[in-house]
Structure 1
Amino acid sequence: MPALLRPGRIIFGIGFIGLSILCILSKDFIVGRPPAWPATFTMSVSLGYITAVLLVLAAIAIIAIEQKGAAASLLIALFILVLSVPRHMVQFMNDWSNAYKTLALLGGTLIMAGSFLKDNAVVVPGWPVHEPLRKTMVTTGCLLVAVFFISSGYAHFKFADFVENFIPAYIPFRAFWTYFTGICLIAGGIGIVIPATRRPAAMLSGFMVLGWFLLLHIPRFIANTKDASDRLGLCESFIFVGIFFVLSVISVRHER
């Protein structure tokens, strides 16, 4: 098994276990930071608890039960598609950044599922998965992640002052890093869409996000463990590291 495949799955699973804990604390399904449910919807608490438990079980399967990894990844994808994406679409223009992030997390689960599938694998009885479908899942996942990365790179230029203030004061040349990482985000997004550059783009993007996780998200979380946004950012960044590590490995297979 290539070096980054299992670590990527473990990182991805741990990130979703963290998100499931935040779902319990928030008493809602908050993967992708969707807008609040309408006031008339009274089942958000029960939904948050139930989906959190299922997320934990799915994450454990991804980490430890290879035969169930594809089904577990697709279960998470289903939750995001049904419980987060529609809520974002209603208020897309008010929070397009998190809407794209939600789509990227959805895409990441498709990539993760594709990493477990082999030709003629059966996830649902009677529905064997063939190579063209697996490639379509991975390609779709790459497109969704790419849209988020490119839009995030654009945001580094449009909201440069905000991004610069987000960078801890102990990091020098914050203005430079704001624009440089914006360029890297755009390049990474474009790179994972092109099959010939997918592997290096995914690997470099994975290590870039890992750097942010260590240098930005952990210190911000430690400084204020009760900040909801920083707690989510900690888990989300870790998940994307796992997605990119896995993508960098399976890209070799899918390019053949």
Structure 2
Amino acid sequence: MHTLLKTGRLFYGLAIIAYGVQQIVIQDFRPQIIPPFPSWAHQYSIFAISSGVAMIVLGVITTGFVKIVSCNPATACLYLGIYFLLLIITCHIPYLLFIFPHKLSHLGVWADLLKVLAFSGGSFVMTTLFLKDQPPTSKNKRSTKDHLFLAGRLFFCTTMVLFGWSHFVYNSFISQLVPAWLGMSRFWAYFGGVALISAGLAIALKTFLRQVALLLAIMLFLWFVLVHVPGAIANPAAGRGNAIVSAFDAILFCGTALAISRYRNITLTEPEKMN
């Protein structure tokens, strides 16, 4: 069970590192991080590079590869969660509501915001791995750790449910991502949608939470191996590395699901236990 937590932590941290590295390489923000608004953030590469360096450092701390006395894994994950949440509030929502030229009724419009929402949720879930159990502030109230896990879990499962729904809305496109050798591409696209929606709802309602989260992690990892890795190898430079980013999205989501599956079963109160 410690292995699952280590793996979840590693996957999440590696994905954050990958985003940071790519920002430095392209010297700009990925749209999943900051949309075209504010424009000044994209005009000066120093912002993307500085953010990329910070993400790499926080990602490395999250994985446990390096220990920094002044910033433990819980603090690193909490900073990441707040950072992503602030980007949603200050960049993504204003951009979609006041600047984006297309109809907001299309689910695909919200894809980048939903990814950042899952990133933030994953960070909060990871934070709880390193917090000691605390007594509630008053009777029948949750502790800070419980609040963080609740927020992280709901952020993450919201993205899973809506991404699952996209398998029905955009089935023709998603079915093209299914490996040809597997056959029945439309069926597998629908199946993936049902699985994401079902898992997201179960996680939100805490129905067989650990079992469902573990199954979701396994499914996401299989997608990473069967769909995203071949796509990244075939088209590594297309769209400034979109296929590579999608592969690390799957790894990040997988890591978050693994962390959810082990919540309170084994909670790490000492970061050293992960190393």
> Which range, TM-score by smaller chain?
0.7 to 0.9
User: Within 5 A, what are the aligned runs for 1:142-161?
Assistant: 142-161=153-172
Amino acid paired to 1:193: A
Amino acid paired to 1:35: P
Comparing 233-242 with 91-100, greater Cα deviation is found at 91-100
For residue 29 of structure 1, give the secondary structure of its aligned residue in structure 2. coil
Amino acid paired to 1:98: D
Cα distance in 1, alignment partners of residues 60 and 188 from structure 2: 36
Cα distance in 2, alignment partners of residues 131 and 44 from structure 1: 43
Residue aligning to 2:58 = 58
Given the alignment of the two structures, is residue 245 of structure 1 paired with residue 258 of structure 2, yes or no? Answer: yes
Residue aligning to 2:92 = 88
Residue aligning to 1:115 = 129
Following superposition, the deviation at residue 43 of structure 1 comes to 5.9
Cα distance in 2, alignment partners of residues 36 and 21 from structure 1: 20
Following superposition, the deviation at residue 10 of structure 1 comes to 1.0
Contact 1:199 1:251 in 2 (8 A): no
Contact 2:36 2:42 in 1 (8 A): no
Contact 2:15 2:248 in 1 (8 A): yes
Cα distance in 2, alignment partners of residues 199 and 252 from structure 1: 9
User: Within 5 A, what are the aligned runs for 1:185-200?
Assistant: 185-200=196-211
Judged with a 3 Å threshold, the aligned counterparts in structure 2 of structure 1 residues 85 and 225 are, in CA distance, closer, same or farther, namely farther
User: Within 5 A, what are the aligned runs for 1:95-110?
Assistant: 95-110=109-124
Cα distance in 1, alignment partners of residues 44 and 31 from structure 2: 13
Judged with a 3 Å threshold, the aligned counterparts in structure 2 of structure 1 residues 135 and 31 are, in CA distance, closer, same or farther, namely farther
Choose which of 78, 102, 111 in structure 2 pairs with 1:74: 78
Given the alignment of the two structures, is residue 207 of structure 1 paired with residue 218 of structure 2, yes or no? Answer: yes
Judged with a 3 Å threshold, the aligned counterparts in structure 2 of structure 1 residues 40 and 28 are, in CA distance, closer, same or farther, namely closer
Residue aligning to 2:271 = none
Residue aligning to 1:22 = 22
Unaligned runs of 5+ in 2: 97-103, 135-140, 268-275
Following superposition, the deviation at residue 36 of structure 1 comes to 1.6
Cα distance in 1, alignment partners of residues 16 and 128 from structure 2: 18
Cα distance in 1, alignment partners of residues 165 and 25 from structure 2: 32
Cα distance in 1, alignment partners of residues 170 and 43 from structure 2: 36
Normalized against structure 1, the TM-score is what? 0.87
For residue 4 of structure 1, give the secondary structure of its aligned residue in structure 2. helix
Judged with a 3 Å threshold, the aligned counterparts in structure 2 of structure 1 residues 196 and 183 are, in CA distance, closer, same or farther, namely closer
Residue aligning to 2:273 = none
Cα distance in 1, alignment partners of residues 186 and 200 from structure 2: 22
Following superposition, the deviation at residue 85 of structure 1 comes to 4.5
User: Within 5 A, what are the aligned runs for 1:210-225?
Assistant: 210-225=221-236
Following superposition, the deviation at residue 62 of structure 1 comes to 1.3
Residue aligning to 2:186 = 175
Cα distance in 1, alignment partners of residues 55 and 33 from structure 2: 16
Amino acid paired to 1:239: L
Following superposition, the deviation at residue 50 of structure 1 comes to 1.0
Choose which of 242, 247, 252 in structure 2 pairs with 1:234: 247
Comparing 102-111 with 188-197, greater Cα deviation is found at 188-197
Residue aligning to 2:2 = 2
Comparing 244-253 with 5-14, greater Cα deviation is found at 244-253
Following superposition, the deviation at residue 37 of structure 1 comes to 3.2
Comparing 19-28 with 240-249, greater Cα deviation is found at 19-28
Normalized against structure 2, the TM-score is what? 0.82
Amino acid paired to 2:7: P
The structure where helix makes up a greater share of residues is: 1
Comparing 135-144 with 160-169, greater Cα deviation is found at 160-169
Cα distance in 2, alignment partners of residues 91 and 139 from structure 1: 27
Amino acid paired to 2:125: I
Amino acid paired to 2:60: I
Following superposition, the deviation at residue 132 of structure 1 comes to 0.9
Unaligned runs of 5+ in 1: 121-129
